[in-house]
């Protein structure tokens, strides 16, 4: 399996954010997208996730499931944790698992994997920033998808949370998954780097 984007150009608000960009990652590989604020890291992730249409170029996943589109085979973990504050931790995760569908996993086990099982009954509104991030990470586990697109995934995580997440990324890579992460911090695992330049 290989994800490849060719000759990608992204225009936002009438301004070219990047152009002629190639990006690729093979099964079992982590790619760290780095660069200064405004370089276009989030924009690139959103193009790969199918949330932004590139002005030029295209992205494809070779060797994936031919019946599914790339966005259907990818998780996008953005800056903001997409949680419903009035729902409990468990209900939030169940919602995402049912919404995303496909190869679903046991909710309680996913919460245990991010050390949130003790808080399963709490409304998401009560969670700390780090706990909200852990719940978002549990979404990656609740439905198996080969491509993880992560925007600053370790923001708000404490040292234990970062170590836990590194372990989950390693497991995902060992299972033939792909990780593409926009980050200002080292990912904590072997990763190829794609450095994006600032455009001022």
Ligand X SMILES: Nc1ncnc2c1ncn2[C@@H]1O[C@H](COP(=O)(O)OP(=O)(O)OP(=O)(O)O)[C@@H](O)[C@H]1O
Nearer to ligand X by Cβ, of 43 and 92: the residue is 43
What the block records as the tokens of 171 is 């497991």
Question: Does 12 engage in binding with ligand X (CB under 6 A)?
Answer: yes
How far apart CA 42 and CA 147 sit, in angstroms, is 16
User: Sign of torsion, CA 179 102 163 134?
Assistant: positive
Which residues within the stretch 15-34 sit at the binding site for ligand X (CB under 6 A)? 17
Contact pattern from residue 37 through residue 66 relative to ligand X, giving x for each residue in contact according to CB under 6 A and a dash for the rest = xxxxxxx-----------------------
Q: Which stretch binds ligand X (CB under 6 A): 35-43, 113-121, 122-130, 160-168?
A: 35-43
Q: How far is the CB of 46 from ligand X (least distance, A)?
A: 8
Contacts with 88 (C-beta within 8 Å, 6 or more apart), sequence order: 120, 121, 122, 123, 124
Cβ pair 147, 166 in contact under 8 A: no
Q: Which residue has the tokens 């405004």?
A: 38
d(CA 131, CA 145): 22
User: x/- site string to ligand X, residues 158 to 197, per CB under 6 A?
Assistant: ------------------------x---------------
Cβ 140 to ligand X shortest distance, Å = 20
Name the residue among 49, 30, 62 with its Cα closest to residue 172. 30
Among 1, 30, 35, 165, contact with ligand X (rule: CB under 6 A): 35
Give the interface with ligand X as residue ranges (CB under 6 A): 12-13, 17, 35, 37-43, 182
């Amino acid at each position: 399996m290989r994800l490849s984007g060719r000759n990608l150009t992204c225009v936002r608000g009438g301004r070219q954010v990047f152009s002629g960009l190639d990006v690729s990652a093979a099964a079992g590989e982590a790619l760290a997208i780095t660069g200064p604020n405004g370089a276009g890291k989030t924009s690139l992730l959103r193009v790969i996730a199918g949330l932004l249409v590139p002005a030029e170029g295209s992205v494809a996943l070779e060797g994936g499931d031919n019946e599914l589109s790339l966005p259907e085979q990818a998780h996008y973990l953005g800056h903001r944790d997409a949680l419903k504050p009035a729902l409990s931790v468990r209900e939030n995760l169940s919602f995402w698992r049912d919404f995303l569908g496909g190869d679903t996993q046991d909710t309680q086990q996913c919460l245990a994997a991010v050390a949130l099982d003790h808080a399963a009954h709490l409304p998401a509104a009560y969670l700390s920033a780090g706990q909200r991030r852990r719940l978002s990470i549990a979404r990656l586990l609740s439905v198996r998808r080969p491509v993880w697109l992560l925007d600053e995934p370790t923001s708000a995580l404490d040292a234990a949370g970062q170590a836990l997440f590194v372990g989950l990324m390693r497991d995902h890579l060992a299972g033939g998954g792909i990780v593409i992460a926009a980050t200002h911090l080292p990912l904590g695992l072997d990763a190829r780097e794609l450095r994006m330049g600032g455009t001022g």
